[in-house]
Amino acid sequence: MLAGLFAGCGPAHSNDGGNGMIFGLFKSKFTTSIGPQVGASLVREAAWPASMPAPPAASYPPIRNVSIDGGLPPAGTLAATRTEHPAAEAFVIDAAAGQPALAVVNTYDPERRTQLWQLDARDARRFDKQRSATFDAAQAKWLMYSAESVLALPGRQLLIQLKYHKPQAADGLFVYDAEANRIRSFGNVEPDWSRGLPFRFVDSLQLRPDAVLVRYQTDKERLGPQRYVNHFEHLVLFSPRHRDGLELVKLGLDDGSVRRWGLSGSKLWLQTVDERASPPREFVWSLDLARAL
């Protein structure tokens, strides 16, 4: 669970914020907490900045999603692109700094499974050997499991969003540490219900070339037919200082759900909406990340 992975979050000290307020008929119960290592408060702002700097490029390789041709690994080879409904596919991170290229592989027939493979140093289209790390000690008993998305993190780590049935269906987040050949679980997650279809479970914001902020959701509430909101959004920083992930903010729905975010200097900006109210309540928040970065 998150409590075991990240540093604990204390109560948010929002200035002119929504914590403790009553929004129409909704009493405050989904409150925000800020990680103690942040050393700053969430501040209510009057408006979004007139301009926002573009995020920097990452200093580590991005993920490529491609099809696998000619059968399953190790016989198959990586294609240049991904076709619609491939027999097998791979999320690939290229070799860097003496570390081999890796692939998170989805197979669909005869079983829907996800495997971790090291690619051949002589020909990165070919598979070398399968990695032994597992998502769960009992995954052999799961009915299916398949990577829906993969995000590159600093330090040769991969954030894998995995759909699995054991037998109940769930979506979980896992971090694969390629150097240690180890997988850590973040627990189950919910899609960002505000985005509709296709469901998206993870978003990211590059803060520095070697630092990325990951956002995902937990818990949900039904507002009406096909209408849901998330109770919490988690903003987790990955960097050389915070290799295991530092939860900066656990944003409660009382302070809105993120619609837009950006970094200007050391200040994180969040534009949020609470859709439970009619009309929806909108907020702009800022948080100084100087100590965390």
pLDDT, tens only, 189-228:
999 988 877 889 999 999 999 999 999 999 988 888 878 8
Span 30-39, average pLDDT? 96
Indicate if the pLDDT at residue 51 is higher than 80: yes
Q: What is the pLDDT of residue 195?
A: 80
Answer yes or no: is pLDDT of 2 > 80: no
pLDDT tens, 85-99?
999 999 999 999 889
Element (H, E) at 2: helix 2-5
| Contact yes or no for 250/11 (Cβ under 8 A) | no
Give me the pLDDT at residue 28, please.
58
Give the pLDDT confidence of 120-144 residue by residue, as tens digits: 999 999 999 999 999 999 999 999 9
pLDDT at residue 15 in the model:
47
CA distance 167 to 204: 30
Q: What is the mean pLDDT of residues 236-241?
A: 97
Would you tell me how many other CB atoms lie within 10 Å of the CB of residue 80? 9
Instruction: Write out the DSSP string of 226-247.
Output: TEEEEEEEEEEEESSTTTT-EE
Question: What is the pLDDT at residue 197?
Answer: 79
Q: What is the pLDDT of residues 64-118, one digit of tens each?
A: 999 999 999 999 999 999 999 999 999 999 999 889 999 999 999 889 999 999 9
Q: Which helix (H) or strand (E) holds 3?
A: helix 2-5
* Mean pLDDT for the stretch of residues 16-20: 42
Query: Is this structure's pTM higher than 0.85?
Result: yes
| Confidence at 20, pLDDT banded by 50, 70, 90 | very low
> What is the distance between the alpha carbons of residues 142 and 236, in angstroms, rounded to a whole number?
28
Q: Which one has a higher pLDDT value, 24 or 241?
A: 241
Q: What is the helix (H) or strand (E) element at residue 144, kind and residue range?
A: strand 144-153
